[in-house]
Structure 1
Amino acid sequence: MKALVDTLRRTARLMVGVPDYEDYCRHMQAYHPELPVMDRTTFFRNRQEARYGGKNGGRCC
């Protein structure tokens, strides 16, 4: 049951454009082990800025 809930949660996040933090961590460990891994909060903010633009990135709010 937990696996199903995790899969549904991951699918819902991807549908609204929120990448998976655990996938990011696995990717960094596999392909960029020399680089630091962002914490969950920093990762979330980074992905928001990439999607919606950074500070004053053309949006009013």
Structure 2
Amino acid sequence: MARLFSFNDLSTVGKYLGQAARQMVGVPDYATYVRHRRITHPGLPIMTELEFFRNRQDARYGAGRSGGCC
């Protein structure tokens, strides 16, 4: 009997499901950012994963806000 899925297929599906879930809750994908920078902007600096996370967090919630809704 032939296998329907290989481990590689399941791994790929899991990767894409995880990426989709992060995007749905507003968490951008660092690997996608790095790939984009290397292809589209070669030679320019690439943020570390922590810098990227803070950058995206600041962009979403506003840098320097004191908290609360207003």
TM range (shorter): 0.7 to 0.9
5+ residue gaps, structure 1, are: none
SS state at 1:54 partner: coil
State the Cα RMSD in Å.
1.6
Cα distance, 1:59 vs structure 2: 3.3
Q: Gaps spanning 5+ residues in structure 2: where? A: 1-9
54, 57, 61: which one pairs with 1:48? 57
What is aligned with 1:28? 37
1:60 is aligned, of 46, 50, 68, to 68
Identity rate, percent? 48
C-alpha displacement at 1:60, in angstroms? Answer: 2.8
With structure 1 as the length reference, what TM-score do the two structures score? 0.86
Provide the secondary structure at the position in 1 that maps to 2:57.
helix
Q: CA offsets, 1:19-46, max 9 Å, x none?
A: 1111100110011112111111110110
- 1:15 aligned residue (17, 24, 38): 24
Displacement over 4 Å in runs of 4+: none
Q: In structure 2, how many angstroms separate the alpha carbons of the residues matched to 1:14 and 1:47? A: 12
